Structure 1
Amino acid sequence: MRYTMRAILSAATLAGIASTSAPAFAADEVNIYSYRQPFLIQPLLDAFTAETGVKTNVVFASKGLGERIAAEGENSPADVLLTVDIGRLDGAKQLGVTQPVNSDVVTENIPSQFRDPEGHWVGLTNRARVIYASRDRVDQDSITYEELSDPKWKGRLCTRSGQHVYTIGLIASMVAHHGAEETEEWLAGVRDNLARKPAGNDRAQVKAIYAGECDISLGNTYYMGKMETNDKEPEQKEWAKSVRILFPNSDDRGSHVNLAGIVLTKHAPNKDNAVKLIEFLTSAKAQEIYAETNFEYPVTPGVAVSERVQSWGELKPDSLSLSDIAENRKTASELVDKVGFDDGPAS
């Protein structure tokens, strides 16, 4: 027997999970566990329902959803899991809570480097890990990730925790390109160039540049759009004006990109509708909505980025397979601890 509605809602409350609509088990519905905040995906879900008649139910949490699905086992109400990082996509696969997505539509829409080789996860949008640079204090218009360890940046770099999934993804890409030994040396150099101990989110790094605490920072591209359009907190528009985006390694391999993506759960009670949703989210129509509302890069070929995103400059994405990056995440995490990255610059 599957969980009763009361049990589902009680468990969600205990776990601190917000639900925009209670999960259900009906022929015309699909249940979504999401690391993406509901307001970010609601335009997509509304368009899906309008096109298919299938109702969507969303449970949101900032962490622990993969483990929750594993704990629920065969009784899990989740049909799909929406995630915001290759680590969580691969992590769901490693937890054994996914099944392959067998769809010619998805295969046609999404290039192979943005899909799990065995079909257990599907990428939906890209975000680049870029450099935010002070307009007043940084003159150069190009940069590389390798350059971040150059002593010329000593005391001028801000970033979030080395163990955050976004940072781990970048470090894992460096391991894939250069090997663990060289990446360790590089990471120690980056640590010593930090202006302070890693802290805060990506927006906090831009705020620090605005405040003169550092001159460059690492961040995801879409945060620029979120700051530039933040009417509720207009001070963030001022932070955004103080920086410009530099796309690292544009003259060679390209900039590191990460994925927001989706998995089909192993025991999806509404599997057919779940596959319909995945196919819709890979369509040009849905990718255009992603591009306009979330300031991200579509992964479906031929779908244009928004005008705002275009204004930041041209992205040349690293062609490295995301599955290769996933394989190096453990090594990346170990290197962060080994060099004491989160302790800040060495004395």
Structure 2
Amino acid sequence: MQLKLIASAAMAIAASTASVWANAGEEVNIYSYRQAYLLEPLLEAFTEETGIETNVVFARSGLAERLEREGQNSPADLVMTVDISRINELVERGLTQPLQNDVLEQNIPAHLRHPDGKWFALTTRGRMIYASVDRVEEGEISTYEDLADPKWEGRICTRSGKHPYNIALFSSMIAHHGEQEAEQWLAGLKNNLARKPQGGDRDQIKAIAEGVCDVSLGNSYYYGNMLEDENQREAAEAVRIVFPNADDRGTHINISGIALTNSAPNQENAIRLMEFLSQEKAQQIYAEANTEYPANPNVQPSGLVASWGEMHADSLPLQTIADNREAAVKMVDRVDYDN
């Protein structure tokens, strides 16, 4: 196998890692927040097609700080990450460089890339509403705005309001409604919570299955992953997936994305990998690996994802969501959402 995976523990030995990579020949060096199993089939396909080897440092946190420490001596060519706030952090710290590239601009819609090419989406995921099959009628809830309706008092579960996935959704509500109206909505959602925000998106589905609540928020791929896991399938089958705002602006989406670093010692090879990941072959592999939606509109979702029905995605530029992040965080604090 051509792919070299370096565990997050190796973050402490950056100098030796850089030395190993420097002697590797034709290569691309990647810092990744995405887990290795998601990248492996993609990068193996790239190496098979191009002969260019790939080296990956995987970490759960700290990659932006590491890039700052390394500066222009960093061996990293690319950063791969999830969530618009994480990828925008790299931009705000000045760690990525702009890229104008015809292939990427043809394959990735404008609202799924930075206006100056400082990041590009590779996959998307919808922030869905999950509703109890037994206790919520089909069509009874259909929009994010409905979550603040007093009829749902004591019936909604969510993870922390400060989690990046919820912050991105709240940022989109600010973009669509303005801060004052968005804050009133968030206060209404808080009033409808069945319990203090806790756990992850899978835990909200499990809470519905256990009767703790009737409605929750969650990313689409968590639902898909649970359906594919025999130990979690029963809980997933207890909920119905709802595409919020399907009849108007569309469902809020977030991304996994990629950015070219300022240092990029293997820049030409890195751009070849970015192009490859935006094309149909890789987009299909990537989307199937985690039941996500391809960013390339010419690629269809996997069979399981397609079976849920077509997602009408909100076309709000992801950069607008990133720009509203600070306001969303302050809004969560003002309504004291997590308490």
Matches within 5 A, 1:209-228: 209-228=208-227
Instruction: Give 1:191's aligned residue.
Output: 190
- AA aligned to 2:32 is S
Change (3 A) 1:10 1:340: closer
Matches within 5 A, 1:83-98: 83-98=81-96
- AA aligned to 2:111 is Q
* Displacement of 1:57: 0.8
Instruction: Give 1:103's aligned residue.
Output: 101
**Inter-partner Cα distance in structure 2 for 1:9 and 1:221:** 27
Partner deviation per Cα, 1:29-73 (whole Å, 9 max, x = no partner) = 111111110001111111111111111111111122112111211
Instruction: Give 1:327's aligned residue.
Output: 323
**Inter-partner Cα distance in structure 1 for 2:287 and 2:7:** 33
Does the residue aligned with 1:275 lie in a helix, a strand or coil?
helix
Change (3 A) 1:105 1:193: same
Instruction: Give 2:75's aligned residue.
Output: 77
Of 324, 329, 338, which aligns to 2:334? 338
* Displacement of 1:9: 8.8
- AA aligned to 1:115 is R
- RMSD of aligned alpha carbons: 1.9
Instruction: Give 1:3's aligned residue.
Output: none
Change (3 A) 1:143 1:315: same
Of 55, 72, 81, which aligns to 1:57? 55
TM-score (ref. length: structure 2)? 0.93
- AA aligned to 2:149 is D
8 Å Cα contact 1:32-1:57 kept in structure 2: yes
8 Å Cα contact 1:79-1:264 kept in structure 2: yes
Instruction: Give 1:305's aligned residue.
Output: 301
Is structure 2 residue 251 aligned with structure 1 residue 255?
A: yes
**Inter-partner Cα distance in structure 1 for 2:333 and 2:42:** 39
Matches within 5 A, 1:273-288: 273-288=269-284
* Displacement of 1:289: 0.8
TM-score (ref. length: structure 1)? 0.91
Instruction: Give 1:150's aligned residue.
Output: 149
Instruction: Give 2:3's aligned residue.
Output: none
- AA aligned to 1:55 is E
Does the residue aligned with 1:133 lie in a helix, a strand or coil?
strand
**Inter-partner Cα distance in structure 1 for 2:196 and 2:129:** 18
- AA aligned to 1:282 is S
Q: Which moved more, 1:287-296 or 1:114-123?
A: 287-296
Q: Which moved more, 1:120-129 or 1:307-316?
A: 307-316
Any stretches of 5+ residues in structure 2 without a counterpart?
1-5
Instruction: Give 2:206's aligned residue.
Output: 207
Matches within 5 A, 1:124-203: 124-141=122-139, 142-203=141-202
**Inter-partner Cα distance in structure 2 for 1:213 and 1:28:** 54
- How many residue pairs were aligned? 329
Q: Which moved more, 1:171-180 or 1:282-291?
A: 282-291
Change (3 A) 1:150 1:24: farther
8 Å Cα contact 2:7-2:57 kept in structure 1: no
Of 237, 250, 272, which aligns to 2:233? 237
Change (3 A) 1:130 1:78: same
8 Å Cα contact 2:8-2:57 kept in structure 1: no
Partner deviation per Cα, 1:267-308 (whole Å, 9 max, x = no partner) = 011111111110000011111112222211111121111110
**Inter-partner Cα distance in structure 2 for 1:220 and 1:11:** 29
**Inter-partner Cα distance in structure 2 for 1:172 and 1:316:** 19
* Displacement of 1:104: 1.3
Instruction: Give me the identity figure in percent.
Output: 57
Does the residue aligned with 2:298 lie in a helix, a strand or coil?
coil
Any stretches of 5+ residues in structure 1 without a counterpart?
1-7
Partner deviation per Cα, 1:287-333 (whole Å, 9 max, x = no partner) = 11122222111111211111100111221001111111111011001
Of 30, 34, 39, which aligns to 1:41? 39
Does the residue aligned with 1:98 lie in a helix, a strand or coil?
coil
